Every structure is written in structure tokens, then in C-alpha cells.
């Protein structure tokens, strides 16, 4: 939509500011209130639908870019201009579709003017717009629910998070495409953080044909509308990691050929919260080589009552004295209620035990000695991931960067000089899931 004041709105000069003020003063209260809902005047250009005869528009951008708002505004535009529209709203679960796409701060109920808010019918998972258009909520965890219903449009949110088990994400997508047969110009809007999962990679490949148009962007593009605390938190969580390129810059990270872990595999094993009680909890340590080493790997993992191992925390610390990293280990053991602290003792075993005992003399410590290299030790642990025996409770940017840098053949191509965090993870999961011969051991729960 091109409005009569577009050039004035885009003018950043003092004259532009004066004209905006004069326009605002000329509006009555009702007009001023409605002006706040004119998305074309508020959106950044990359948040508006691209021109052309595309079938799929995918916004693949960093966290906080404004993807949800762009998707919701596109649905609102479709609903207002196409009274006959039947729109599918698909998320990783119906609960998330409701919480984010419908009732969220940038969801459909929030962006519509008070007099034209759609009617949400939670029991029917349905939204009715004043124009007559309707939208239905679907869960990607139930791909068969999209087998049968017909739609003219769809908004798919965070496809990088859609369930991967039993190919649910791709089955859901394929069923959606087969049902997109109403109207003369069916289209799909996709909003997602880039993640190296099969469905995202498939759409990226299809962009070469022009059927899929991709809008890319960074968290920083929307910094003016984001809380300073949010910007600080993502900087501290991802700073210095390769995953910053994914979570902040909106870049789709490629896997290194021959890597024991891939980005797609790690996304597949991720949980937002722990889904089982702990039978055991261990803290594993890969101490730095020198008196003040580069990094001390400290990883907390648990074995669940369901027989699944879960990585709970990465408490690794860089550039610390032995006394400081020992205190961090003791604190992690107390905080998580660890029944064992496993520490590699190949370099300075006596010193490692001494500083850990000084930090907490009652620490349930076991020193382990590595007879093989880091990558060789990691291979059976990587096999546990492939077998579905391990989960990550949350996202561990620096740790996962190191895992994806461990290659078959015994080399390391990740960040830093040594995969200390990854080695700590290997010790933790070996303690929980592998016997001394490096093979899986049976665990019985009565």
C-alpha cells in the first residue's frame, strides 16, 4: 500500500519531523488511534511482503527481529482484503500457536484495532475476522490434523522448532502444501530463526527457483524497539560463539564435513525444560593445563528416570585461577545436587584433587585418566545422541560450537585451541551412560 504521506514519513530531516507533527495535530483522537495500527507506516521495509509472484515468503532472521509481528500483520492484511480466506496458523504446538501467534504481544489480537479485533474461539482453535475470513490453529506435532482441511493461506511460525521425531516437521509441511488449494493465489508466510534442520534447508534450496523468497535480518535491525536488558542478555549468552551468527545475525550455519555432531542433530535433541526426574546428577570437569589455563570445562548432566541423559548446564570458566574454577565446580555440585564430580587428572591430577578438596572437602570426587584422545573418547558419546539417548535442556552456544567442531579422524576444527567444554560433556555422559569399556551399560529402575 502506498499512502500520500509516504515520502514525508521516510524523511528523517527536521522538515520531515515538523510535517509529521503537523499531520498528527491535524488528526482527531479516533484518527490518531487508528494511525497507530497502520502497519505500512510503522514497518521496516524488510517486514513487508516482497513484490513478485512468490508462493512462500520466509523471514529467516535473528531473535527479536520482529518476525512474529510481520507474520501477524500479513495474516491481518490477508483477512481484511480476502473475506473468503481460510488461513492455517501452524506452530510447534497448539499451545504455542495460541500463546505467540494469537495472544502474544505481537499476535493477532494485539495488532488489530479495538473495533476490529477478531473473535478467538479457543475451544474450536479458530479465529473469526470481521471480514468473514477465518484462521485455524494447528500443531506441527500432529501432522495428520492437516490431512484433509483446505486453506487459501498459511502462516507457519518457528519451523526450525517443529518436532523432528518421525519426520513430523516435513510431514506437517507436506500435508499443509497438499491442502493449500483454495482461492486463486495460495501463499504461505514463514517466520523462523535459522536452524539447520531438514525443512529449513529444503526451503533455502527452493529459493534458487524463485518459488521461495527469503528475507534475512539481524536482531540489531530492531534494536530501537527492544529492551536494553534483552540486548544485554543475548550478548552475554551468545557473545563470541558461532551460534551468535545464527541467533543474532540470522545466518543459517553450515555443518563441517565429517563432524561427529551436526547442528540439525543438536536441534533434534533439544528440550525447553527437563521432562523427567533425575536418577543421578554428575558434574564433569576438564581442568585447564596450566596454573591459569585458557578454559576449565564444567558441564552438569543427569540421568533421568526414563533412561535418557540430559545436559543441564554449562558452567565452564575461562582464564580463572585453580581456586576460582574449583569454587565454581563445588558450587555447581551443590546447586544441582550432584552425586558425583568426575575430573580428568591426566595433567596435574594431584593439584586437581587438592584444589577441589580445598573448595569442598566432602565433594564426591572421582578422578579419571584418559587413555585416548578427546575425539576418540567423543565418538561413542556422539553415537548416544544419534540413538536418541541424550537431550539438551536449553541452548548451550559455546559448548555446541565445540561439539560441532569435533571431526572423525581425530581432528578438531571448532573455536579455541581445545574443546574443553565438549570434553567435560563427554566425561559426564560417559559416567552416566557408558561402562569402562566405552559401551552402553544397562540401567535398571525398579
Q: What is the mean pLDDT of residues 216-244?
A: 87
For the entire predicted model, the pTM comes to 0.71
Backbone region of residue 344 per phi and psi (left: phi > 0; alpha: psi in -120 to 50; beta: other values): beta
Q: What is the mean pLDDT of residues 75-99?
A: 97
Q: What is the mean pLDDT of residues 305-330?
A: 95
What pLDDT digit, counting tens, does each position of 387-420 carry? 999 999 999 999 999 999 999 878 898 888 889 9
Q: How many residues does the chain have?
A: 446
According to DSSP, the residues that pair with 392 across neighbouring strands are 270, 311
Q: What is the CA radius of gyration of the chain?
A: 26
**Residue closest to 311 by CA, chosen among 397, 427, 429, 423:** 429
CB 406 within 8 A of CB 259: yes
- Amino acid 415: pLDDT: 86
**Residue closest to 366 by CA, chosen among 336, 340, 347, 331:** 340
- Amino acid 5: pLDDT: 44
How do 278-286 and 295-304 pair as beta strands? antiparallel
What pLDDT digit, counting tens, does each position of 214-227 carry? 999 999 999 988 99
Is 422's pLDDT higher than 50? yes
**Which has more pLDDT, 170 or 361?**
170
Count of other CB atoms within 10 angstroms of residue 20: 14
**Residue closest to 47 by CA, chosen among 36, 59, 55, 38:** 59
Record the cell numbers describing residue 347, joined without a space.
Answer: 595433567
Distance CA 230, CA 249 (A): 15
Domain 263-433 fold: Nucleotidyltransferase; domain 5 (3.30.420)
**Residue closest to 301 by CA, chosen among 326, 269, 327, 325:** 269
Is 249's pLDDT higher than 50? yes
What pLDDT digit, counting tens, does each position of 152-187 carry? 999 999 999 998 878 899 999 999 999 999 999 999
According to DSSP, the residues that pair with 88 across neighbouring strands are 136, 154
Record the cell numbers describing residue 255, joined without a space.
Answer: 555443518
Record the cell numbers describing residue 124, joined without a space.
Answer: 474450536
Distance CA 277, CA 258 (A): 35
Q: 440 φ, ψ to 5°? A: -60, 140
C-alpha pair distances (Å), 167 with each of 53, 163, 174, 175? 30, 8, 11, 12
Helix axes 349-359, 322-336, angle to 10 degrees: 60
Does domain 37-236 fall under CATH 3.40.50.300? My reply is yes
- Amino acid 35: pLDDT: 66
Q: What is the mean pLDDT of residues 302-321?
A: 95
Q: Alpha helix locations (H) across 123-225?
A: 168-179, 198-206
Give the start-to-end residue ranges of the domains of the chain: 1-29, 37-236, 263-433
> Percent of the chain scored above 70 by pLDDT?
88
Distance CA 282, CA 285 (A): 10
Q: What's 101's DSSP letter? A: I
**Which has more pLDDT, 7 or 359?**
359
Is 125's pLDDT higher than 60? yes
Amino acid at each position: 500500500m502506498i499512502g500520500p504521506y509516504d515520502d514525508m514519513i521516510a524523511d528523517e530531516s527536521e522538515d520531515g519531523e515538523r510535517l509529521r507533527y503537523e499531520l498528527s495535530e491535524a488528526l482527531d483522537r479516533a484518527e490518531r488511534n487508528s494511525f497507530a495500527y497502520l502497519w505500512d507506516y510503522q514497518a521496516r521495509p524488510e517486514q513487508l511482503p516482497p513484490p513478485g509472484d512468490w508462493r512462500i515468503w520466509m523471514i529467516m532472521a535473528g531473535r527479536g527481529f520482529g518476525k512474529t509481528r510481520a507474520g501477524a500483520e500479513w495474516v491481518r492484511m490477508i483477512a481484511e482484503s480476502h473475506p473468503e480466506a481460510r488461513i492455517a496458523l501452524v506452530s510447534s504446538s497448539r499451545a504455542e500457536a495460541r500463546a505467540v501467534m494469537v495472544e502474544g504481544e505481537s499476535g493477532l489480537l494485539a495488532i488489530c484495532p479495538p473495533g476490529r479485533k477478531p473473535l478467538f474461539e479457543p475451544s474450536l482453535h479458530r479465529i473469526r475476522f470481521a471480514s468473514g475470513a477465518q484462521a485455524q490453529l494447528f500443531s506441527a506435532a500432529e501432522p495428520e490434523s492437516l490431512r484433509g482441511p483446505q486453506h487459501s493461506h498459511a502462516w507457519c511460525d518457528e519451523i526450525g522448532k517443529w518436532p523432528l521425531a518421525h519426520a513430523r516437521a516435513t510431514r506437517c509441511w507436506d500435508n499443509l502444501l497438499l491442502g493449500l488449494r483454495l482461492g486463486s493465489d495460495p501463499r504461505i508466510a514463514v517466520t523462523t530463526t535459522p536452524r539447520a534442520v531438514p525443512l529449513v534447508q529444503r526451503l533455502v534450496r527452493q529459493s534458487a527457483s524463485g518459488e521461495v523468497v527469503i528475507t534475512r535480518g539481524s536482531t540489531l535491525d530492531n534494536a530501537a524497539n527492544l529492551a536494553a536488558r534483552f540486548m544485554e542478555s543475548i550478548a552475554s549468552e551468545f557473545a563470541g560463539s558461532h551460534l551468535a551468527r545464527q541467533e543474532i545475525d540470522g545466518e543459517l550455519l553450515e555443518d563441517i564435513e565429517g563432524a561427529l555432531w551436526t547442528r540439525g542433530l543438536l536441534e533434534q535433541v533439544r528440550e525447553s525444560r527437563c521432562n523427567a526426574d533425575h536418577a543421578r546428577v554428575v558434574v564433569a570437569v576438564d581442568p585447564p593445563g596450566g596454573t591459569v589455563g585458557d578454559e576449565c570445562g564444567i558441564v552438569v548432566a543427569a540421568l533421568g528416570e526414563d533412561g535418557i541423559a540430559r545436559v543441564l548446564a554449562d558452567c565452564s570458566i575461562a582464564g580463572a585461577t585453580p581456586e576460582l574454577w574449583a569454587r565454581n565446580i563445588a558450587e555447581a555440585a551443590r546447586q544441582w545436587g550432584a552425586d558425583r564430580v568426575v575430573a580428568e587428572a591426566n595433567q596435574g591430577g594431584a593439584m586437581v584433587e587438592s584444589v577441589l578438596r580445598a573448595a569442598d572437602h566432602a565433594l564426591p570426587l572421582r578422578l579419571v585418566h584418559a587413555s585416548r584422545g578427546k575425539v576418540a573418547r567423543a565418538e561413542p558419546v556422539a553415537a548416544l545422541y544419534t540413538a536418541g539417548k541424550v537431550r539438551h535442556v536449553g541452548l548451550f552456544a559455546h559448548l555446541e560450537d565445540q561439539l560441532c567442531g569435533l571431526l572423525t579422524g581425530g581432528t578438531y576444527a571448532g573455536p579455541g585451541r581445545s574443546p574443553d567444554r565438549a570434553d567435560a560433556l563427554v566425561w559426564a555422559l560417559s559416567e552416566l551412560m557408558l561402562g569402562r569399556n566405552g559401551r552402553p551399560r544397562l540401567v535398571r529402575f525398579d
